[in-house]
């Protein structure tokens, strides 16, 4: 079986399929990555195996400073644990260097998602993921399905993050709006709550800043 290479525009919703590559080659690369294996053994504390892989090209829209689009090629690989019928985890590695970049675990029993940004050394856990719109439209947050981009998310805008925290505004009341803090995992907003100021209260700012 061959894997599929897709192109995901971080600041656009559309995704297109470009080419394919060998599943065996991709799986061999991730299985030989000692950092991946060590982490998975610690995280699951039980036997695991790798499933299919896809190659994804992420094109980040150019920033105001650089004006040059960044292109990253990644491999996303499924991780199965004992008796699982659908992939439980997803490993993200660099195609060029085989560097371990990100990890996502989707617990579809307790409805929890755990994300790990290796470079930022940031582990986050989000609960009640079954309440997310994307949960039902992506085969319960199947990262492979999300990468292929077969469906659009009405909650995502052209200002969404690829991974990490971001801010958004609520409805404008007069010339001000309440500020909200969001967290994104692979372009999906998995958390949305009112931003808290240093005084412990809600935050407001002029309309149009986010």
Over pLDDT 70: what percentage of the chain? Answer: 73
83-87, 161-165, 184-188: least confidently modelled range: 161-165
Q: Average of pLDDT values for 18-39?
A: 68
For residue range 69-122, list pLDDT tens digits in order.
Answer: 455 788 999 999 988 889 999 999 998 899 999 999 999 999 999 999 998 999
Distance CA 45, CA 41 (A): 5
> Between 154 and 162, whose confidence is greater?
162
pLDDT higher for 30 or 41?
41
CA triple 96-101-155, angle to 5 deg: 115
Instruction: Give the pLDDT confidence score for residue 18 in this predicted structure.
Output: 35
Residue 33's pLDDT is 86
Q: What local confidence, expressed as pLDDT, does residue 123 receive?
A: 94
Q: Does residue 28 have a pLDDT over 80?
A: no
CA 41/CA 18 separation, integer angstroms: 33
Asked if pLDDT for residue 57 goes beyond 80, the answer is no
CB 126 within 8 A of CB 134: no
Mean local confidence (pLDDT), 131-154: 77
Residue-averaged pLDDT of the chain: 77
Nearest 10 degrees: Cα torsion 70, 87, 125, 71: 0
And the tokens for 27? 């799986």
Q: What is the pLDDT of residues 38-52, one digit of tens each?
A: 999 999 988 999 999
Domains of the chain, residue spans:
2-153, 160-210
Q: What mean pLDDT is predicted for residues 119-146?
A: 91
Say which residue, 102 or 145, is predicted with more confidence. 102
């Amino acid at each position: 079986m061959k894997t599929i290479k897709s192109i995901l525009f971080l600041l656009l919703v559309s995704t297109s399929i470009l080419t394919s590559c060998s599943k065996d080659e991709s799986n061999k690369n991730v299985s030989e990555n000692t950092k991946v294996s060590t982490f998975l053994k610690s995280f699951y504390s039980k036997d695991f195996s790798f499933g299919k892989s896809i190659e994804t090209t992420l094109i980040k829209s150019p920033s105001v400073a650089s004006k040059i689009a960044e292109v990253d090629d990644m491999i996303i690989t499924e991780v199965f644990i004992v008796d699982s019928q659908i992939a439980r985890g997803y490993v993200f590695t660099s195609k060029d260097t085989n560097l371990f970049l990100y990890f996502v675990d989707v617990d579809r029993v307790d409805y929890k998602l755990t994300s790990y940004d290796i470079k930022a050394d940031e582990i986050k856990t989000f609960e009640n993921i079954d309440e997310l719109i994307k949960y039902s439209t992506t085969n319960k947050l199947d990262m492979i399905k999300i990468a292929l981009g077969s469906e659009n998310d009405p909650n995502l805008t052209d200002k969404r993050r690829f991974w990490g925290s971001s801010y958004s505004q609520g409805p404008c009341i007069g010339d001000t709006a309440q500020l909200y803090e969001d967290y994104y995992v692979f372009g999906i907003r998995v958390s949305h709550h009112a931003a808290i100021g240093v005084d412990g209260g809600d935050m407001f700012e002029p309309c149009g800043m986010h």
